Structure 1
Amino acid sequence: MDLPRIGVTLPNFGPHAGPDSVVTVARAAERLGFHAVSASERLLIPVDPGWSNDAGLPESHVWDTLELLTWAAAHTRRIRVTTGIVNAIFQAPLVLARRLATLDRLSRGRLDVGVGQGGGTRQPPFYIPEEFVAAGVPAARRGGGFVENLAAMRACWGPDPVEFDGEHYRIPRSMVGPKPWGTTIPLFIGALTRTTIERAARIGDGFITVAVDWDDTRGQVRCYRDAGGTGTVLVSVIVQGSGDRITAAAFTDAVRRDLDRAAALGADEVHLALNFLPDHPDRQVELLEALADQVGLPARVPVP
């Protein structure tokens, strides 16, 4: 059974987040033959006593996704950079389309974009209301507004003149740029419920989920495929150690089990959320080196 492509999350929160750490992990992942590096967005974490962090989100601030990935792209040459995910409806589609196209051009076409409509919880309402208040966007824009946001972004990446006239967004007939490095930028849609997964199958270039429970993940992937989804299935896996340190043997065993599970359910790509480990990025590199040896990644190449 072939293993999925393997990506690695960058240190975008916690005590080890910073420019040197991002470069350390990104360059090592490229040198070792991993497929991608990724980072995810979180605008804020509520402090209201009623807040329930049922999804296990980091309780410290998260560095901005696009700036962090731009920094990683600037210090690598071949590895893909992935937003996994950025919440599209927190920004005007023209603004986000231009930011993404700029990163795609700067990285010479290495960008994959995971997009969402403001998740953050695994129980209803499946989003963090405080983020919508802070972003100045009504939560009712989820659903139809999210679909329209993606359509407007794709219009921006198409030929000039660009024009879009929707219920929530309007772009007057204009010249808009930059355009992507290639013909467009793939959009992988983060989804959790049947309705949102089926939407991902209809309008997305792929589907992103987090493997909190592998039985749930299996059902989500099946739902995506049954709904006609033929794009990339990307599964994020939260790697956690016991205590203050995880051994290389325990790390590789745990990841290999997750890779086998992901392969069995038909995932194309797995991203390892190393940023939940307490280990310094130098130690994370050691773990990645052990994993690369264990799973037989392509021959290591020097970073130019």
Structure 2
Amino acid sequence: MVRTETCNRTRSSRVRPLPRSRDEFRRRSRSYTEQHPRQRRAPDEHPPPRIGFSLPSFGPHAGPEAIAAVARAAERFGLDSVSLSERLLLPAGPDWRNEARLPESYVWDPLETLTWAAAHTSRIRLATGIVNALFQPPLILARRLATLDRLSGGRLDVGIGQGWLPEEFTATGVPAGRRGAGFEEHIAAMRACWGPDPVRYEGKFYRIPPSTVGPKPVDGPLPLVIGAGARSAVERAARLGAGFVTVVFPQDWDTARKQIGWYREAGGAGPVVIRVLAVSQDTPDPVATLVDGVREQRKRCVELGADEIQWGDLNLAEVPVEDQVVAMEAMAAALDLDAS
């Protein structure tokens, strides 16, 4: 996760206040479409980025009904994916300072949550953005990911990272020194599990004896996107033939531009995913802030060469699920998405 200092933002006078009713949001959605007709893309132009939305996997409104409702709405409004990230715990020791502004509540497990979302949808893609791979043995994580891919009909997009929170390494019994070389081995071992049987892997950190391992993913080894911030980690994603995922805060686009430049300079040819954190715990009128910013944020992401944009997270601002659905409808209209 990218760390950032809290920024007390003042909203532009051009930003409209939060609508007082869901009907007003729907009227605003229709006005977006009327004011901004769909543009025809030139044949050689980069395809428009896929659009994703975060599932309510933490906070007071998280739950089975909420997860299913947001997933169904995303599919209905023409979005391409739903996503969520992993957090195993929130430290509670006397010296803990939540400088990264992590959710103050527990986070639902991403793979079980995406399985539930898959059961309530038929088309939309399911993205882990991200799962910290080192906290599970590669054999276990590879099988869990392949199982979800098979259950969803091949709709899984896998984003992984190394983890950074010391307390999570302690709680899972994984040494923090496993990062780097151990992470590379972990990926190689998972890819072996997704390949033909018998599976065999021999490494310094992981060993899989000759075995039959399944299930296998629907379309062969699952493509990966890797979350990273430091230059060496970004370049590792390129070297391993993976895509790259980064986090953007609307007040700081330069960091993402620099990171994506490192990735491409290192030979990275995979997809670039940008997770836009447009709201936080302190954002006034979080729904209006999200909806009013999506067109400009998409434009900036396109300029950076993004292949997918994942918006979140209204759960940080504890927005009720019914208002998240209405916001998603307005967002889809603002971005001229094709609703089903």
The TM-score with structure 1 as length reference comes to 0.92
Runs of 4+ in 1 over 3 A off after TM superposition: 241-248
Corresponding residue of 2:65 = 20
Matched, 1:225 2:264: yes
Distance 2:185 2:226 in 1: 14
Distance 1:161-1:247 versus aligned 2 partners, 3 A rule: closer
Matched, 1:59 2:96: no
SS of 2:141 mapped into structure 1:
helix
C-alpha displacement of 1:55: 2.3
Corresponding residue of 1:152 = 189
Is residue 207–residue 231 contact of structure 1 (8 Å, CA) maintained in 2? yes
SS of 2:200 mapped into structure 1:
strand
| Runs of at least 5 residues in structure 1 that lack an aligned partner in the other structure | 119-126
Greater alpha carbon shift after TM alignment, 6-15 vs 48-57? 48-57
Amino acid across the alignment from 1:293: A
SS of 1:276 mapped into structure 2:
coil
Corresponding residue of 2:140 = 95
Cα RMSD of the aligned pairs, angstroms, is: 1.5
Select 1:184's aligned residue among 218, 221, 236.
221
| Runs of at least 5 residues in structure 2 that lack an aligned partner in the other structure | 1-44
1:186-215 CA-partner distances (Å, limit 9, x unpaired): 110010000000000111421011113211
C-alpha displacement of 1:60: 1.1
C-alpha displacement of 1:52: 3.2
Distance 1:288 1:49 in 2: 39
Greater alpha carbon shift after TM alignment, 68-77 vs 53-62? 53-62
Within 5 A, what are the aligned runs for 1:201-212?
201-212=238-249
Is residue 194–residue 216 contact of structure 2 (8 Å, CA) maintained in 1? yes
SS of 1:224 mapped into structure 2:
helix
Corresponding residue of 2:304 = 265
Distance 1:17 1:34 in 2: 20
SS of 2:196 mapped into structure 1:
coil
Is residue 27–residue 76 contact of structure 1 (8 Å, CA) maintained in 2? yes
Distance 1:189-1:247 versus aligned 2 partners, 3 A rule: closer
Corresponding residue of 2:323 = 283
Is residue 11–residue 22 contact of structure 1 (8 Å, CA) maintained in 2? yes
Q: Identity of counterpart residues, as a percentage? A: 58
Select 1:215's aligned residue among 254, 268, 273.
254
Greater alpha carbon shift after TM alignment, 18-27 vs 257-266? 257-266
1:43-77 CA-partner distances (Å, limit 9, x unpaired): 11112233233322112110001000000011000
SS of 1:255 mapped into structure 2:
helix
Amino acid across the alignment from 1:271: Q
Is residue 241–residue 269 contact of structure 2 (8 Å, CA) maintained in 1? no
Distance 1:138 1:59 in 2: 25
1:100-150 CA-partner distances (Å, limit 9, x unpaired): 0000000010001000001xxxxxxxx211100100111110000000001
1:130-188 CA-partner distances (Å, limit 9, x unpaired): 10010011111000000000100000000000000100000000100000011121110
C-alpha displacement of 1:247: 5.1
The TM-score with structure 2 as length reference comes to 0.82
Distance 2:283 2:263 in 1: 36
Amino acid across the alignment from 1:276: L
Select 1:5's aligned residue among 50, 58, 71.
50
C-alpha displacement of 1:253: 2.0
SS of 1:296 mapped into structure 2:
coil
Larger radius of gyration: 2
